[in-house]
Amino acid sequence: MKVYLDNAATTPIDPEVLDAMLPVMKQTFGNPSSIHNYGRETKALVEQARRQVASYFKVSPGEIFFTSGGTEADNMAIKGAVEDLNITHAITSKIEHPAVLLPLENLEKKGKITLDFVKVGNNGHVDLEDLELLLQKNSKPAIVSLMHANNEIGNLLPLKKVAELCQKYHAVFHSDTVQTVGHYSLDLTGIPIHFITCSAHKFHGPKGIGFLYINGNIKISPLISGGSQERNMRGGTENVYGIAGLAKALEIAHRTMAAQQEYILGLKSYMIEQLETKIPGVEFNGDAKKSSLYTVLNVLLPETSKKEMLVHFLDISGIAASAGSACSSGSNTGSHVLRNIGTDMNRPSVRFSFSKYNTKDEIDYCVGKIAGVYKD
């Protein structure tokens, strides 16, 4: 049996999305910047997709900027805020995605900002009281960058509460929402947030396409220069068929959201139950049973001499899972997220992440293979 349980890294493309993209690849090939009919037709498709995307978040189409994905969008928000909004103070956590941590650390090294890290509890949740203290103690213009759902442990941030706290102290708020767009309904009319990010391949869309939402009350400069595309905000010919795929994937996600949330959460709960039944001493990193992304389960297994080979063993058993973020899989230092929430790094941790295409039979197969490691 082959089982794909690494959906937080990327998801298989939905057949409906592929069907929406193929005619664009074949027929709507004009450059959106061209003034002839071919270009105008393509431009119309891009702008229709922008309106469609904006409608799901109750924002203006002029606040949506298509990017190559979440990493570019995070960099654009952070660097643009610092350069153009006179930001000299940044607050984040040590369990953020590298797309947030690295640009902030680089800006600190260049002397452009002072960088503070908010405390994170052993359950993986950001300490909001400490966040308020950090906002209070520094009178400099600040940006707060905290992800909506952690990509490794799944913990959810109370987005509205943090946004209101930032508003109270006149701070700019950026949230990496890559793991939650397409999985939760985000009505931004009631959330005073300045930037959110998206990557289509996290919800059965194509790779290489995402967007950055920029609140219309603020203005930043482009990260990529070289053309007037995206209303002078991102140089380079638009990824037209990617944009079409993103819009279709988002439409499917919102159309089926309630049913998929229930189904996938059921798979996650079932896996927790089966692991606890069959593997004494198993635990879960983060807040897996409470305030957690329904698609992610990070399992802390008992010590074993096979720790370093466990993910490889799963792979040769036909099971795709992860020991951490796929974006930092080349690192040999272990997960920075798990280290910073106090996880016992002598024990193996494996992240399983689910989609609508997974089944209980696959969960049974996976749990059986893991249980077998502890019987040998």
Q: Which residues contact 186 (CB under 8 A, 6 or more apart)?
A: 56, 57, 159, 177, 180, 196
Q: What pLDDT is stored for residue 7 in this prediction?
A: 98
Q: Which residues contact 359 (CB under 8 A, 6 or more apart)?
A: 267
* End-to-end CA separation in angstroms for the chain: 21
Domain boundary residue, one of 255, 280, 314: 255
Q: What pLDDT is stored for residue 325 in this prediction?
A: 54
**Are residues 177 and 292 both part of a single domain?**
no
Q: How many domains does the chain have?
A: 2
**Are residues 8 and 79 both part of a single domain?**
no
Range of the structural domain that residue 101 is part of: 15-255
Q: What pLDDT is stored for residue 245 in this prediction?
A: 98
Nearest CA to 199 out of 326, 29, 357 is that of: 326
Report the CATH number that the domain containing residue 344 is assigned in CATH. 3.90.1150.10
d(C-alpha 342, C-alpha 5), whole Å: 25
pTM of the model: 0.95
**Are residues 36 and 146 both part of a single domain?**
yes
Q: What pLDDT is stored for residue 327 in this prediction?
A: 53
Q: Where are the alpha helices (DSSP H) in 188-304?
A: 229-232, 240-255, 257-278
**Are residues 169 and 304 both part of a single domain?**
no
Residue 1: C-alpha distances to residues 4, 296, 362, 376 (Å):
10, 21, 8, 21
Per-residue pLDDT tens, the chain, 376 aa: give them: 999 999 999 999 999 999 999 999 999 999 999 999 999 999 999 999 999 999 999 999 999 999 999 999 999 999 999 999 999 999 999 999 999 999 999 999 999 999 999 999 999 999 999 999 999 998 889 999 999 999 999 999 999 999 999 999 999 999 999 999 999 999 999 999 999 999 999 999 999 999 999 999 999 999 999 999 999 999 999 999 999 999 999 999 999 999 999 999 999 999 999 999 999 999 999 999 999 999 999 999 999 877 788 999 999 999 999 986 555 444 446 899 999 999 999 999 999 999 999 999 999 999 999 999 988 6
**Are residues 113 and 200 both part of a single domain?**
yes
Which of the residues 166, 198, 327, 366 is marked catalytic? 327
**Are residues 127 and 59 both part of a single domain?**
yes
Q: Is 327 noted as a catalytic residue in this protein? A: yes
**Are residues 77 and 58 both part of a single domain?**
yes
**Are residues 241 and 300 both part of a single domain?**
no
Give the DSSP per-residue string, 303-330: P-TTGGGHHHHHHHTTEE-BSS-GGGTT
For helices 240-255 and 257-278, angle between their N-to-C axes, nearest 10 degrees: 80
